[in-house]
Amino acid sequence: MDILLGSIASGILLGMVLSLVALGLTVIFGLMDIVNFAHGEFLMIGMYTGLLTAQATGLDPLLTLPLAAGIGFLLGVLCYGGFVKYLLRGPMIAQLLGTFGLMLVLRNIALLFFGSEDRALHHGLLVGKSFDVGMGIIISATKLAVAVLAVLSFVGVWLLMNRTKLGKALTATALNRQGARYMGIPTERMNALAWGIGGATVTIAGALIVNFWSVNPYVGLIFTMIAFTVVALGGFGSVPGAFFAGLVVGFIMEIPGFWDFFAITFNISWMDAVPMTSFKYTWIYVSYFVIMLISPRGLFGWKQ
Amino acid sequence: MEAIRNALDFSDFPRIDRMVALAVVLLLVTFPLFPHSAFAMATMIQFLMFSLYGMGWNTIGGYGGQVDLGKAQYVGIGAYTTTVCLLRWDIPFWVSMPLGACLSIGWSFIIGYPLFQLKGHYFAIATIATSLVLKDIFEVWKFVGAARGLGILPFKYQTPDFLRLIFKEDVYYYYTIFGLFIIGLLYMNWFRKSRLGFQLRSIKDNEEVARSLGINVHWAKIKTYAIATAFVSVVGSFHAVYVKNIEPEDTMSLDISILIALMAMLGGAGSLWGPIIGAGVLIPLKSYLKEWLGAAAGLVGIDLILYGLIIMIISAFEPRGLWGIVEKIRRRKRI
Amino acid sequence: MRRSLKCARLLMGITLLTALACTGAVMAEEIKIGVLFPLTGGAAAAGRELRSGAELALDIANNAMPDINMTMAKNVGIKSMGGAKITLIFKDHEGNPTLGADLAKKLILDDKVHGLMGAYHSSVTKAVSAVAEQYGIPLINDSSTSPELTKQGYKWFWRTTPHDVYFTKDLFEFLKGMTEGKVKGLAAVPKKDITNLASACEKTEWGAAVSELIEKFGKDYGFEVKKSILYAAKATDLSSEVRSLIAVKPDAMLFASYTSDAILMMKTLKDQKAAPKLLWGQNAGFEVPEFVSTLGDTTVGSLTRTVFIPKIAQVKPVAAKINAMYKAKTGNDLSGASARSFTGLQAWVHVLEKAGSVKPADIQKAANAIEIPGDELVVPWQGIKFAASGEDIGQNTLGMGLIGQYQKAADGKIDLEIVYPFNVATANMIYPFPKF
């Protein structure tokens, strides 16, 4: 029972972390039909930002979050203005390839400057602290912080999209760019803003994630895949969808835990022998595939 | 007969193209006669391998317009089939290679059917997903050595062994892959003029129109995917006997899939020369930059930064690749 | 466009060829040894250690340092070859076997090395040794411990370090000793207290072999391995692995981890409030200086097998001398990695001295015949003597391992203390493992 509860708790926490990672992707996708393969690399840059500022200044990444958000916003806007804008003119194949190129460049710039070693934050306000709630539920402070941040970000982005004039302009751009331009909405600036928001949300996620996961220049890809799955499940472009889909994916990542629960509780020896932890990411890929086949629009998709 | 004549017929290319192609082929044939380092030799073999990978990718990705980023799984199937056959049952390369291709094609039908329900980005990501799932399975599958991989021990065989394709000198490998390269090139020359080739181009232009013309779009895509798969799998088998050390992390990683797609896209997707130009530029660039800048100067990663930048520029300004630039210049001259 | 590209490539090739032709001329008094280490990648910290250790040994071999009690320190270069000096050509294999094999081939064919050394990761060593065997170039392995490597009957492969069969056996001897009260400062522990084991090993050649050995020896010694997990050393997250370990409530957790994953593992264990009574690491990641410097007090009480612990300096004057030199050079004490790469190159020097030429056949003959006495080594072995035949061909038969425990000294510094072999133990053992 302990194992089950522990897994559920950690699935929820992990799910919130993942939904924050995917938030930026869904915002960008909702606004323009472009899939950003460099999304995980934005996260990686966020992780390095958190790590390096913490190491340089001795401040916890929690305190330097605004800096990370700023860097992410700038990065997003720069990427849009300097590069993605031109991609949108070309065919879909060029967009895919282009963001792939962006991914390679960002990844290898990180490799050039930071080296290929895994690095992580080992000291800080939250590192290594965890609350034992009992019944096997252990909540680590680091993950809790990201979860709280995730809720705040989602509420923030949702309010921005639905309760402000700016959000209305964003939505209008998403629905009909031509029309929006005629209404006097600066669509180029709206697109850049979406990239900025996308970049900022993912870098703050990264800045806090470095508290509990280690970072190397290659870390981005797995998060890109996870973010794609979350966004696909939630429906490309849907903000609340991404949140709930994140929770579901969190549970998918915890499949090894549930497996252990059954294996140990019912003492099933063949289950014990399956190296389930080796498959922890496999289920993500499988679920992406299945979701896309069954329901291409995901849970809350609103855009064809 | 008709097919062979078609494959050998390059007459629809301008004269200059044919001359350059002939010169390149002659250069490739005579390359081992020049004094060369093992490093240059390895680079050339890599170039030929990736040209072939790129040609395979070009069928579905270039002519068909379906961005496939999961080709590494077929490199893996080909490589593993050859290695496992050789190590367990001593089956020679020339038997295990077609066997691997058959297995790859079988697997491509199984996943191709659902895959091609998807379009665009969704398809591209799904191909990545399938490739990574297969890699995860190979990483725990004891029969194929799990994550430890398999190694072919070359000194256990009498070299040169033309049946099992175990050699000590790289020059044998060079001519083997060169032979495959020529066959691949001729096949592609036939393919682009074949019925399926034309069907694909019409699918790429507009799927709805293609369907209304009576083309079975789904089936045409699956068939082409199988062809692409066979190419990749054959080169995968060759990869196994050439590097002699197979593990999932290396042969089935996403990086391989990306590289394969890049070759064709950079050179010019949907043109016969595209993948060869792409590989001819990227592979030497990659290995020499790495040798000069990476290890020696301690600038790890600078080769791939340049690489990525080239891709970004190409995709933003000339999505049809280097060949697209050549054609643009030509058109301008004609006007 | 197309033609100019091809031209450019040809030009590139020609430039390289000329460059190689110039460097290719072998000078008679130079002995080239290609060294493959993971200088970047997840084990880069260990790679730095290994490189420094080899460079220190090179320095001692190429220069006369009469105050060091080692044969190789006595004269300049290799005496039997008229004072020929050794050059090391370092290559970085990033922990990737295919790359390692490729580099080995280039070292042999393009750089024309006379011998090879490396490559730390057992998976890489396996691939490299196949290349060395094919081309008939001697390879002395200093730090890869998968037993498989010497079981293949290679004629061009020698290994100085003891392998994991020795080390894993040591572990179970140690556990057995605990139940019999042989451990310094510890009363006999009832066997039922430490009978449940769980292991997590990295999944390539080395870790997978260790995992199998733990299962095998566990059965032989009457312990129960409740769970054995294989994980990717490149993983950025190990929380589900750790939860899976904790789920079986093991008394002892056993690990085989490279550098960054060892640190991540400890951090995650702490995060999840794991409470094993024993925590043991199969050296590698558990003994690089970064392990202590990043984790600090968390490491206190954890055990690691190793071949070198700075405390050896108290009983071995040679070790003290070399350790001091190493510390002056790098700022760290010698570790299991650097001590072994030092010893590996030392073995090379002895082999070359005995061979008197750089011909592979002479080197092969010499390697099978050398005998280096234990008092010349920094590691606490009885010496180096390679098995010239038998099941473990090429294996050093005189090696042995240690088990150390991280303990906090009075001055707050965390040091490795020897707890096994029992007769050379330097401190009382901390048991059970303090809670995180």
Phi, psi of A181 (to 5 degrees): -65, -40
Instruction: Give residues with Cβ within 8 angstroms of B216, minimum separation 6.
Output: none
Which residue of chain B comes nearest to C96, CA vs CA?
B250
Phi, psi of C420 (to 5 degrees): -145, 140
Residue pLDDT, tens place only, B28-66 = 998 888 888 888 898 999 999 999 999 999 998 888 888
Taking an 8 Å cut-off on Cβ atoms, the answer to whether C40 and A138 are in contact is no
Question: Which neighbouring-strand residues pair with C384?
Answer: C372
Residue C310 scores a pLDDT above 70: yes
Q: How many domains does chain B have?
A: 1
Task: Give the residue, B14 or C5, on which the prediction is more confident.
Answer: B14
- Residue reference for tokens 């550098």: C259
Mean pLDDT of C27-54: 82
pLDDT band for position B69 (50/70/90)?
A: confident
Write out chain B residues lying below 8 Å of C105, CB-based: 38, 42
The single-letter code of the amino acid at C218 is G
C195 and C326 in a common domain: no
- Assign 3-class secondary structure to chain B: CHHHHHHHCCCCCCHHHHHHHHHHHHHHHHHHHCCCCHHHHHHHHHHHHHHHHHHHHHHHHHHCCCCCCCCHHHHHHHHHHHHHHHHHHCCCHHHHHHHHHHHHHHHHHHHHHHHCCCCHHHHHHHHHHHHHHHHHHHHHCHHHCHHHCEECCHHHCCCCECCCCECCCHHHHHHHHHHHHHHHHHHHHHHHHCHHHHHHHHHHHCHHHHHHCCCCHHHHHHHHHHHHHHHHHHHHHHHHHHHCEECHHHHCCHHHHHHHHHHHHHHCCCCCCHHHHHHHHHHHHHHHHHHHHHHHCCCCCHHHHHHHHHHHHHHHHCCCHHHHHHHHHHHHHHC
Write out chain C residues lying below 8 Å of B27, CB-based: 6, 10
Residue A299 lies in a domain: no
Residue B115 scores a pLDDT above 80: yes
Mean pLDDT of C143-172: 88
Contact B294, B303 (CB under 8 A): yes
Which residue of chain B comes nearest to A295, CA vs CA?
B118
Residue pLDDT, tens place only, C217-245 = 999 988 888 888 888 887 778 888 888 88
Mean pLDDT of C312-320: 82
Residue A89 lies in a domain: yes
Residue C152 lies in a domain: yes
Mean pLDDT of C379-405: 85
Mean pLDDT of C362-373: 88
Q: How many domains does chain C have?
A: 2
Residues of chain B whose beta carbon is less than 8 angstroms from a beta carbon of chain A are 61, 65, 67, 114, 117-118, 120-122, 124-126, 128-130, 132-133, 136-137, 139-140, 254, 258, 261-262, 265, 269, 299-305, 307-312, 314-317, 319
- Please name the chains neighbouring C, where neighbouring means 3+ C-beta pairs under 8 angstroms: A, B
| Integer CA distances (angstroms), B333 to B167, B321, B328, B329, in order | 49, 19, 9, 6
Taking an 8 Å cut-off on Cβ atoms, the answer to whether B148 and C21 are in contact is no
Taking an 8 Å cut-off on Cβ atoms, the answer to whether B325 and C1 are in contact is yes
Residue-range definition of the domain harbouring residue A156: 2-294
Cα separation of C191 and C184, whole Å? 17
Q: How many domains does chain A have?
A: 1
* pLDDT of the residue at B322: 85
Contact C228, C219 (CB under 8 A): no
Residue A145 lies in a domain: yes
C198 and C155 in a common domain: no
C413 and C372 in a common domain: no
Residue C431 lies in a domain: no
Q: Considering CB atoms only, which of C16, C101, C110 is closest to B245?
A: C101
Instruction: Give residues with Cβ within 8 angstroms of C276, minimum separation 6.
Output: C250, C251, C252, C253, C433
C420 and C279 in a common domain: yes
A136: left (phi over 0), alpha (psi -120 to 50) or beta: left
Residue C28 scores a pLDDT above 50: no
Q: Which of A129-138, B7-16, C98-107 has the lowest mean pLDDT?
A: A129-138
Question: Which neighbouring-strand residues pair with A134?
Answer: A137
Residue A208 lies in a domain: yes
Residue pLDDT, tens place only, A241-283 = 889 989 999 988 888 888 888 888 887 777 777 788 888 888 8
Mean of per-residue pLDDT scores for chain B: 87
pLDDT band for position B104 (50/70/90)?
A: very high
pLDDT band for position B222 (50/70/90)?
A: very high
Cα separation of B31 and C7, whole Å? 13
Residue-range definition of the domain harbouring residue C204: 165-306+401-424
C41 and C88 in a common domain: yes
Mean pLDDT of C258-281: 86
| Residue of B260, B312, B313, B320 to mutate, testing the A interface (most A Cβ within 10 Å of its Cβ) | B312
Percent of chain A with pLDDT over 70: 98
Cα separation of C71 and C101, whole Å? 33
Closest CA to B263 of B65, B31, B46: B46
Write out chain A residues lying below 8 Å of B139, CB-based: 278
CA distance C208 to chain B (A): 7
Q: Considering CB atoms only, which of C21, C40, C102 is closest to B42?
A: C102
Strand order in the sheet with C303-306: C224-231, C196-202, C252-256, C278-281, C303-306, C402-408, C414-420
Taking an 8 Å cut-off on Cβ atoms, the answer to whether A117 and C294 are in contact is no
pLDDT band for position C354 (50/70/90)?
A: confident
* pLDDT of the residue at B330: 85
* pLDDT of the residue at C24: 39
Residue C16 scores a pLDDT above 60: no
Question: Which neighbouring-strand residues pair with C85?
Answer: C30
Which residue of chain A comes nearest to B113, CA vs CA?
A293
Taking an 8 Å cut-off on Cβ atoms, the answer to whether A118 and C227 are in contact is no
| Integer CA distances (angstroms), B194 to B19, B60, B200, C90, C110, in order | 24, 14, 10, 52, 46
Question: Which neighbouring-strand residues pair with C30?
Answer: C85
Residue B265 scores a pLDDT above 50: yes
Taking an 8 Å cut-off on Cβ atoms, the answer to whether C227 and A215 are in contact is no
Residue A304 lies in a domain: no
Mean of per-residue pLDDT scores for chain A: 84
Contact A42, A76 (CB under 8 A): yes
C266 and C186 in a common domain: yes
* pLDDT of the residue at B81: 93
Residue-range definition of the domain harbouring residue B59: 2-334
Q: DSSP for C57-110, please give it.
A: HHHHHHS--TTS-SHHHHSSSBGGGTSBEEEEEEEE-TT-HHHHHHHHHHHHHT
* pLDDT of the residue at C25: 38
Q: Determine the longest span between alpha carbons in chain A, in angstroms.
A: 67
Closest CA to A234 of A280, A142, A300, A288: A300
Q: Which of A224-238, B166-180, C4-18, C398-412 has the lowest mean pLDDT?
A: C4-18
B275 close to C (CB below 8 A)? no
* pLDDT of the residue at C23: 44
| Residue of A12, A118, A146, A269 to mutate, testing the C interface (most C Cβ within 10 Å of its Cβ) | A118
Q: Considering CB atoms only, which of A3, A127, A254 is closest to C247?
A: A3
The single-letter code of the amino acid at A212 is F
10 Å Cβ neighbour count for B329?
11
Residue A204 scores a pLDDT above 80: yes
Mean pLDDT highest for which of A42-51, A294-303, C42-51? Answer: A42-51
| Residue of B121, B131, B132, B317 to mutate, testing the A interface (most A Cβ within 10 Å of its Cβ) | B121
* pLDDT of the residue at C18: 46
pLDDT band for position C20 (50/70/90)?
A: very low
- Residue reference for tokens 């996961």: A213
Mean pLDDT highest for which of B10-24, B226-240, B315-329, C274-288? Answer: B226-240
Mean pLDDT of C15-35: 58
Taking an 8 Å cut-off on Cβ atoms, the answer to whether C110 and B39 are in contact is yes
C50 and C119 in a common domain: yes
Q: Considering CB atoms only, which of B120, B308, B315 is closest to A108?
A: B308
C175 and C157 in a common domain: no
Cα separation of C136 and C367, whole Å? 14
Cα separation of C42 and B300, whole Å? 14
Residue C47 scores a pLDDT above 70: yes
C145 and C34 in a common domain: yes
Contact C127, C48 (CB under 8 A): no
* pLDDT of the residue at A62: 83
Task: Give the residue, B238 or C316, on which the prediction is more confident.
Answer: B238
CA distance A282 to chain B (A): 5
User: Over the Cα atoms of chain C, what is R_g?
Assistant: 22
* pLDDT of the residue at B73: 92
Q: Considering CB atoms only, which of C44, C45, C267 is closest to A128?
A: C267
Residue pLDDT, tens place only, C322-342 = 888 898 988 888 888 888 899
Residue pLDDT, tens place only, B146-197 = 888 888 888 788 878 888 888 888 889 999 999 999 999 999 999 888 888 8
Cα separation of A28 and B220, whole Å? 33
Sign of CA dihedral C383, C388, C390, C395: positive
